[in-house]
Amino acid sequence: METEINNHRLSPTLDFNARKILILLLSSFNPLSQCEIAQKLSISTRMVSYRAPIIEMWLKSKGVTLSEVKGHGIVVNLDQDKRNILLEDLRVTSLKGFYLKPVERQNLMLFLILTIKEPLTAKSLANRFGVSRTTSMSDLNNIKQQAERYGLELVRHRNFGTEIIGTERALRIALLESILRIVSEQNLIRLCLGENWALDEFAYPPYVHEYLMSLNLSESFKFIQNIELHLNTQYVDYSRLRLSLYLGIMLRRLLNSHQLKEVNASKLDNVDDELKTYLANKVNEQISIDIPETEFSLLAIQFMSSEFLEANIPKDIEGFVEDRAHQLTQNMIDYLARRIHPWLKVDNQLQSDFLDQISLTIKRTELSYAVNNPFLAKFSANHKHVFRVIKEGYSKYAADINVSDDEVAYLGMFLLAALENLRAKRKFRVIVVCTAGLAGARLLTNRLRNEIPEIEVVRTIPAMELKSLGKLQLKTDAIISTVKIQSPNDVPLIVVSPFLDDGDIDQIRSLFKTTFDVSPDADRLSSPISKEGGLLELLNQKYIDVRLKARHWKEVVDLSAEPLLKTGVIQPSFIDAIKRYLEEYGPYMVLWPQVALLHARPEDGAQKLGISIQTLSHPVAFAEAEEYQVQIAITFATPNYHSSIYLLEQLSDLLSSPKFFYQAIELTDKVELLNLIKITLMNKAQ
């Protein structure tokens, strides 16, 4: 076919996103702005901007101009026939000439090995992907390690090629997760919903596109919806996606005579027979071949082990888990309360979330079902401390379950959600100074309250009276003024308009973020845990006392918190809050035998990180049960969750030593108690 398009010039390499942008431009006759391109492809405008020059060079190598229509965007000036030539060129071109990261190339190689019947040689892979034979051999070594994680073996036959060997179940799971790594979740969801995928068929190699089309995922998704109706429940989207893929892969492989052969029959004992029968009837409506019963048993396991929406787990599946889940949930929360924050003990939502997640974990482990958590890498990298503590908890209380890192990350995400509730909900106190009269002051004050709810306007005064305010009268975080004035006592000053425009609002928020460090605590969970503010650094003789006399738990609270109150670590409201929480929630602060960790929330009056430790002359009852008798009281205050992590870890190490308790309650000198704490921690550290 004759064409003016020049296919002989050397074309620059296009990466995956540049290829998608180019396909979009060739599919549209109207100019598209960078924002429109980014929105349609779910990428950033910066990514579009960075790839525009390489796309323009690629088109120029074909003798085509990329035109800019002022105020509207960019467009390719070609008729439909010439566009089709370039689109077809993109469709049939092998990956040679397109840049792929090593991990992307290896994912595609694994997919090919899993889906192509004939063994593939290193040379054929090198030619297909446009790399050297040495590189393809290195890729195969990495793929071998990846296959081993699924229990598969990558076998190389001399002068014949490479094939992958393993159980049918492992092959299916490896293929499913290979697809999830190659194809974006957004495009897979679109496939499940039956949406037009014409645009994206060019964005992936033809063999990936053809295989996905053969899975008929929209029909699989309808099947999942029927199961949801039958179970009177609903799966989360990620589970729906995995179930749709698994069903599509299973049916395709069954049609090609790939049946399950090696199945541990003991794992099938707990499979719900009614669900298995229902699945068999539904599958047999779609496929006219004989299917072994074990296929439906393992398909039922996939459904039983997938994640449901909150508080919507079917009763027959919920009953599948033994009472052990309740005990393990309580053990894990107790452990985390001692290692991370005691407030977790009374978080009812966390207890409910943990019970559901731990029940699923136990069930999946008993059924040998390996769950894949798409957020594992990010969670384990950004929240190392939380990840480590949960792994320690599972090792301590469920060593026989062998919980995977994927499961640990799921439980950790629920914990992060709970820690969000520990963020201080304090108001920022400001004085408003306005020279524009009563009307201006009223306007500015009301604008502040409406636009920045976390601000509390404690006073509105004229500029001339500001200097006369003494230090005690000036208890405020900042001064917001309509005129530049000298701020007394180095209190931060912000100059704004009475109308409080967007720039003023940004200026105020920026001050609070940088000066008062009010970024959410959860945002700082990724930071390395600081070893500042440890137990020995915070404790000295004025925060320690021995053999104090008290008859009631409220007296214990007053005595233990008094040193922190005297030194300004807490406000009186903090002590009131401790008593209120104990009355409301019961003796949950007794976290170790005969040891109470007295605490309140940051916004209850915790001014800074602090701790005090007192022993009592005799046990004091915090509740009627003997287990709530207390002889060591510890009051702990923190302005945020993050700053107390190291302190609580040390405290947990200290109180996990049985000798420490019995030695401490016998001491009659506070110096001796301080020395005992130091020696115990030093021994723990060795």
269-292 residue pLDDT tens: 556 678 888 888 888 887 777 888
Residue 97 belongs to some domain of the structure: no
What pLDDT score does 526 carry? 44
What pLDDT score does 670 carry? 94
What pLDDT score does 9 carry? 45
- Could you tell me the pLDDT band of residue 631, with boundaries at 50, 70 and 90? very high
The Cα-based distances of 95 to 24, 89, 107, 127, 498 in angstroms read: 19, 12, 13, 9, 61
Mean pLDDT score, 384-403: 91
What pLDDT score does 91 carry? 63
Mean pLDDT score, 339-357: 90
Q: Do 489 and 540 belong together in one domain? A: no
Residue among 521, 474, 520, 517 nearest 493 (CA): 474
Q: Do 73 and 132 belong together in one domain? A: no
For residue 387, is pLDDT > 90?
yes
Q: Do 433 and 391 belong together in one domain? A: no
Mean pLDDT of the chain: 83
Q: Do 233 and 327 belong together in one domain? A: no
91-130 residue pLDDT tens: 655 454 455 778 888 999 999 999 988 888 888 888 777 7
186-199 residue pLDDT tens: 788 888 888 755 44
3-state helix, strand, coil in the chain (%, to 5): 55, 10, 30
Between helices 168-182 and 185-192, what is the axis angle to 10°? 110
Choice between 497 and 529, residue whose per-residue pLDDT is larger: 497
Residue 85 belongs to some domain of the structure: yes
The Cα-based distances of 472 to 345, 461, 475, 493, 669 in angstroms read: 38, 16, 6, 18, 38
Distance CA 328, CA 349 (A): 16
Q: Do 189 and 262 belong together in one domain? A: yes
What pLDDT score does 249 carry? 94
What pLDDT score does 342 carry? 92
Q: Please state, as a whole number, how many other Cβ atoms lie within 10 Å of the Cβ of residue 473.
A: 12
DSSP letter for each residue of 478-515: EEEESS--PPGGG--EEE--TT--HHHHHHHHHHHHHH
Residue 112 belongs to domain with CATH number = 1.10.10.10
What pLDDT score does 23 carry? 86
Residue 206 belongs to some domain of the structure: yes
Q: Do 598 and 541 belong together in one domain? A: yes
For residue 595, is pLDDT > 80?
yes
For residue 610, is pLDDT > 80?
yes
**What whole-number percentage of the chain has pLDDT above 90?**
32
What pLDDT score does 202 carry? 52
Report the number of distinct structural domains present in the chain.
Answer: 6
Q: Do 282 and 395 belong together in one domain? A: no
Q: Do 252 and 277 belong together in one domain? A: yes
Choice between 572 and 186, residue whose per-residue pLDDT is larger: 572
Residue 267 belongs to some domain of the structure: yes
Residue 448 belongs to domain with CATH number = 3.40.50.2300
What pLDDT score does 475 carry? 66
Q: Do 305 and 332 belong together in one domain? A: no
Residue 667 belongs to some domain of the structure: yes
Residue 665 token pair: 């309650």
Residue 417 belongs to some domain of the structure: no
Q: Do 654 and 559 belong together in one domain? A: yes
Residue 3 belongs to some domain of the structure: no
Residue among 467, 466, 496 nearest 480 (CA): 496
Domain end call among 265, 290, 316: 316
Q: Do 162 and 200 belong together in one domain? A: no
Domain end call among 495, 519, 543: 519
Residue 130 belongs to some domain of the structure: yes
Residue among 450, 378, 424, 451 nearest 577 (CA): 424
DSSP 96: T
What pLDDT score does 344 carry? 92
Residue 571 belongs to domain with CATH number = 3.40.930.10
| Three-class DSSP category at 95 | coil
- Could you tell me the pLDDT band of residue 485, with boundaries at 50, 70 and 90? confident
Domain end call among 282, 316, 350: 316
- Return the residue matching tokens 């229990």: 151
Q: Which residues of 605-620 are buried (b: 16+ CB within 10 A; e: fewer)?
A: bbeebbbbbbbbeeeb
Residue 409 token pair: 């990350």
Domain of 370 in residue numbering reads as 321-400
Q: Do 607 and 662 belong together in one domain? A: yes
